[in-house]
Amino acid sequence: MTINLKNFLSDKTKMSKMGEFQNLKQIEGLEMSSVSADLYGNGRDDLSLFYFSKGANYATLTTTNSIISETIAWNNSSHKKSIKGLMVNTKNANTFTGKQGKESLDIIAKNLSRILTLKESKSEKGTYETVRIKDLIFASTGVIGEQFPVDQIKDALPALVEKLKTEHNKLFWLKVASGMMTTDTKPKVAYEEVIFGDELVKICGVAKGSGMIAPNLATMLSFIFTTADISSNLLRSLLKRAVANTFNAITVDSDQSTNDMVSLFSTRAIKIGQNLSLNDKLIQKFELSLKKLCLNLAKQIVVDGEGAKKFLTVKVINAKSLGSAKNIAFSIANSPLVKTAVAGEDPNWGRIIMGIGKSGEMIDSKKLKIKLGDFIIAENGKISDSYNEEKLREYMKWDSILIEVNLKLGSDAFECYTCDFTHDYIDINADYRN
């Protein structure tokens, strides 16, 4: 098996850096593939398929944008809690494509269900179940408003099914994740495992996202797979809780997509108990690992933000409410002035003050305490007596920057993640369709 290096090798990512990626493992009950439908015209992978021959329980959360893609509309109309296949295309969002976009999915679903059914009929299992159209869901990412390339995708479906593999090493996970990328510079993968008695439960995740990133769910696609046998209803509860401080805590440019989608799939390979709930210790143990994996993927999206050079954490503590803490954190994180100051390695803390104030939240400036890293920069309504411009300028050269705002008004807190704004962001988005 070879990887199409065009998918993810860039100035930011070299083959020598393969060690940066976790050693992901096989998920029993899952088959994967990725191929090129030549949507980009350069032969890179642009179609990915996740297939569950025995079916999988699943839960999905999608964008809160009032305009959604035809692929999300398709998924929403099925109301299914168990599926057999997910196909992902890049380059085209299938949004604002009207009748053409909807009918294209109908055509692709019919062809894909037929080819998968034929695959099952040729297997050595003896008996098989037909893969129905309603057993399939879709995800799309790319340019909004362009006609959906139905013919190119349809022609690539036989190869997509033919290349399905049950054995997944790190390289294969990277290949499939690369097939989902748009302006991403590298694939995003993560792995966790949980021990339940004598059983090893695996959790693997892939994601894409680089620009148009803001809550809710940012502009991203993320698909998480586990071998734990968990019901669809419980998966949904776990997923909603997991995204709250992960995928819903990131921003690159404050823009929210029409295509956001995060899904959690259970292949049901490992039985961990019956009638489980959020209060069960086994599920709580699983939830901790799930949240860790989601946070890993979410931070990878921010690190790979379009044109990003620095990772920025904004932490608001001792707020009067969670909503207030979250509002202030994002007010700072989404400020172009704060983000360009970080890019310029300038400790211009007045911009942080501005960001706090423009949130609209009630603030007692005399109680306010602001830190950059470990350095107190402002407190008691004025610049700190310990302020040292030289030390702060050295700190701003770091790749990872922390802004901490202590409101001293309550006990709630929220932490969000963003990146700097560089000229590269303008270059990428000014030339996005070329």
Residue 428 is predicted with a pLDDT of 56
Residue 342 is predicted with a pLDDT of 87
Collapsed DSSP state (helix, strand, coil) of residue 141: strand
Rounded-to-integer distance, Cα 110 and Cα 15, Å = 39
pLDDT band of 194, cuts 50, 70, 90: very high
Rounded-to-integer distance, Cα 205 and Cα 293, Å = 7
Q: pLDDT tens-digit profile of 89-98?
A: 999 989 888 8
Structural contact between residues 53 and 31, judged by C-beta atoms closer than 8 angstroms = yes
pLDDT band of 213, cuts 50, 70, 90: very low
Q: Which two tokens stand for residue 353?
A: 């003050």
Q: How far is CA 114 from CA 31, 57, 78, 161, 424, in A?
A: 17, 22, 18, 11, 44
- 198 burial type by CB count under 10 A (0-12 exposed, 13-18 middle, 19+ buried): exposed
Domain ranges of the chain: 20-303, 311-430
- Residues 145-158, buried b or exposed e (16+ Cβ, 10 A)? ebebbbebbbebbe
Query: Once rounded to an integer, what is the mean pLDDT over residues 107-117?
Result: 96
Told to judge if 219 belongs to the known catalytic residues of this protein, a careful annotator would answer yes
Task: Flag whether the pTM goes above 0.85.
Answer: yes
pLDDT band of 256, cuts 50, 70, 90: low
Q: pLDDT tens-digit profile of 46-59?
A: 999 999 999 999 99
pLDDT band of 123, cuts 50, 70, 90: confident
Question: Which residues lie closer than 8 Å to 252 by C-beta, 6 or more apart?
Answer: 210, 211, 212, 213, 214, 218, 301, 302, 305, 306, 308, 418, 419
The more confidently predicted of residues 75 and 128 is: 75
Structural contact between residues 245 and 286, judged by C-beta atoms closer than 8 angstroms = no
Rounded-to-integer distance, Cα 409 and Cα 328, Å = 13
Q: How far is CA 307 from CA 144, 188, 287, 313, in A?
A: 21, 17, 33, 17
Query: Once rounded to an integer, what is the mean pLDDT over residues 167-181?
Result: 88
CATH topology of domain 20-303: L-amino peptidase D-ALA esterase/amidase (3.60.70)
Q: pLDDT tens-digit profile of 361-412?
A: 989 999 999 999 999 999 999 999 999 999 999 999 999 999 999 999 999 9
pLDDT band of 79, cuts 50, 70, 90: low
The reply to whether omega before 57 is within 30° of 0 (cis) is no
Catalytic residue among 219, 227, 313, 422: 219
The more confidently predicted of residues 327 and 213 is: 327
Rounded-to-integer distance, Cα 259 and Cα 218, Å = 9
Q: Which of 364, 349, 354, 271 is nearest to 318 (CA)?
A: 364
Structural contact between residues 237 and 402, judged by C-beta atoms closer than 8 angstroms = no
Collapsed DSSP state (helix, strand, coil) of residue 307: coil
CATH topology of domain 311-430: Ubiquitin-like (UB roll) (3.10.20)
